[in-house]
Amino acid sequence: MDQTLLYVALGAVLVVFIFLSWRNSKKRQKEQAELKDKMVPGVEIMTSTGIYGTLISVDDDKNEAVIETAPGQTLRIHKQTLLKVVEPEVAEAEEPSLNESSVEPISEKAEFGERTASDKKDAE
């Protein structure tokens, strides 16, 4: 009876492990397919070594890509070093400038530990 329970528990752990492995594999395949769809000439990319450039061409037969890092400067690299497509950054809204209506008046009452003008007169 104890061995049967042990075998059932080991079987359940094995089933959970296989399910999680299968799910992660499907997720990675989906991400790779999305990345491949985004890798079209003209997009801004980043390589695994941190080089940014514009994708010029991709040759699937030779497993290489040509990127332009500066005007007239091209690099021929292995296709697997293409890490991600750089999305254009959205400009953040500027914070409103401070005007007199948004500034709180300075209180005449001293905070704990602060000296005021009347304290200085008393000390003299």
How far is 23 from 17, CA to CA, in rounded Å? 10
What is the tens place of the pLDDT at every residue in 69-80?
999 999 999 998
As to burial, measured by CB atoms within 10 angstroms (0-12 exposed, 13-18 middle, 19+ buried), residue 67 is buried
For the ranges 1-10, 45-54, 113-122, the maximum mean pLDDT occurs at 45-54
Once rounded to an integer, what is the mean pLDDT over residues 24-45?
A: 90
> Global pTM?
0.53
The domain segmentation of the chain, as residue ranges, is 1-38, 41-88
Find, among 59, 60, 57, the residue nearest to 68 by Cα.
Answer: 57
Confidence of residue 88 (pLDDT cuts 50, 70, 90): confident
CATH of 41-88, one of 2.30.30, 2.40.50, 2.60.40, 2.40.160: 2.30.30
State residue 35's pLDDT score: 85
